[in-house]
Amino acid sequence: MIKYVIWDFNGTILDDKELSLNLLNEILKKQGKKPVDEEAYLKLFGFPIKKYYLKAGITFEEESFDDIAKWYIAKYQPLSLDLKLHDGVVETLIILRKMGIKNICLSASLQKNLEEQLKHYEIYNYFDYVIGMDNIKTEGKEKVGARFLKEHKVNPNECLYIGDTIYDYDVARKMRVRAILFSGGHQAKERLLKKTKIIIDNIYDIISLVNKEQRRKKVRKFFKDFGNFIAKGNVLDLAIGIIIGGAFNAIIRSVVNDLLMPVISLIFRADVSKKFAVLRGTAEYVANADTGALELVKSPDAVLLYWGNFLQSVIDFLIIGLTLFIIMRVFMKLKARKEAHIAAIKAKRESGEQLTEKEEAVHPEPVIPEEILLLREIRDSLKKEEGNK
């Protein structure tokens, strides 16, 4: 069951691809390098950022990576407030909350910058938790996210992570949560497909995926509960009882049909089960000309009382009742004998007599839990203090 959706921010919630590309080209221009187009950007972008910058052609000879990163953040933050959210973000956040699912925003952005952006776009209140970084050199998202799950006792199997990069997929895997990648962010869809086939082109698709996952989990839970139900002792006992009862019934019928009824039929000089009384009309058994078997032939207005069949059912009932009575009688005698034996061993122990190994195995010394012993010591200590007063 999905209870949490973890959202990446840049590229997943906020459509900042064009701004990131423009800032990259501004850095390249300052270093006298050729700019990159959107197609090249989608193929280049990745993490760690320093490696991505090197691939794009940026060098750190005149300016260090830290200085460029500080410039980027200072330039990016105010401009990021003039962008737009991806289509469907707000609606999806609202629907998820109505479904009872908690939204978590997990970003590599600075915490104060992330909160400023969420509040500016008026979606801050749609998130139950907002998790950013303390500084740009802090732990990665995967460590911060994993620590959050542990501290809040969140089951990773109840989470769904939505991001727009291969890095997000790797973060989700390290957090042991299921990942969905969005193709409208900072990396080309072809790159994402090399990591996972679970890719959405529209943020709205999160709802259908969550519903699908919820249905799958309900089906799994149903079969799990069914398995637990079947595995319960009383259900197994009932099944065994039905099977034994069926076999026992076959034995009883054999006793009646094969042993008793032939004797009774011999007395009546006919098959008693086929005996009947005619209340109205006519009826009699006539031998079939082809097979020789007896067939009942009766008039259309005939009303018959099949007392032979009833007699056989009564005999069945009496034999079953008698058999069960004998079985229960034997069982109760054995049970009473066992209880008497246990009572004798218990009395022997209480009187201080030495028990044999066999007697010890039948009725072992009861083990008193340590908690009970401790409570008894406290009780005795309190009683002693009261007596000394």
Q: Any idea where the domains of the chain sit in the sequence?
A: 4-218, 260-349+357-362
Shortest CA distance to 360 belongs to which of 373, 370, 345? 345
Mean pLDDT, rounded, for 171-186: 95
Reply yes or no on whether the pLDDT at 308 is more than 80.
yes
Shortest CA distance to 155 belongs to which of 23, 1, 313? 1
Identify the weakest region by mean pLDDT among 26-40, 83-97, 305-319. 305-319
Reply yes or no on whether the pLDDT at 365 is more than 70.
no
Identify the weakest region by mean pLDDT among 3-12, 84-93, 188-197, 329-338. 329-338
The pLDDT confidence band at residue 82, using thresholds 50, 70 and 90, is very high
Measured over the CA atoms of residue 226, residue 228, residue 229 and residue 235, the dihedral's sign is: positive
Q: How far is CA 127 from CA 8, 15, 94, 97, in A?
A: 12, 18, 10, 9
Q: Which residue has the higher pLDDT, 6 or 208?
A: 6
Mean pLDDT, rounded, for 115-131: 96
For residue 134, what are the contacts with CB-CB under 8 A and spacing of at least 6?
Answer: 110, 111
4-218: CATH class: alpha beta
Residue 289: predicted pLDDT: 76
Q: Which residue has the higher pLDDT, 283 or 320?
A: 283
Q: Give per-residue pLDDT as tens, 210-220.
A: 888 878 877 77
Percent of the chain with pLDDT over 90: 49
Reply yes or no on whether the pLDDT at 179 is more than 70.
yes
Identify the weakest region by mean pLDDT among 104-113, 114-123, 205-214, 323-332. 323-332
Mean pLDDT, rounded, for 51-79: 93
Mean pLDDT, rounded, for 103-123: 95
Q: Which residues pair with 6 in a beta bridge?
A: 104, 161
Percent of the chain with pLDDT over 70: 92
Mean pLDDT, rounded, for 157-163: 94
* DSSP letter assigned to residue 124: G
With 0-12 CB in 10 A as exposed, 13-18 as middle and 19+ as buried, what is 108? Answer: buried
Reply yes or no on whether the pLDDT at 105 is more than 90.
yes
Reply yes or no on whether the pLDDT at 223 is more than 80.
no
Reply yes or no on whether the pLDDT at 174 is more than 90.
yes
- How crowded is residue 151: how many other Cβ atoms within 10 Å of its Cβ? 8
Reply yes or no on whether the pLDDT at 169 is more than 90.
yes
The pTM of the full predicted model, rounded to 2 decimals, is 0.60
Reply yes or no on whether the pLDDT at 70 is more than 70.
yes
Whether the CB-CB separation of 254 and 315 falls below 8 Å is answered with no
Q: How far apart are CA 133 and CA 129, in angstroms?
A: 13
Whether the CB-CB separation of 46 and 109 falls below 8 Å is answered with no
Reply yes or no on whether the pLDDT at 236 is more than 80.
no
Question: How high does pLDDT run on average in the chain?
Answer: 86
Q: Which residue has the higher pLDDT, 321 or 197?
A: 197
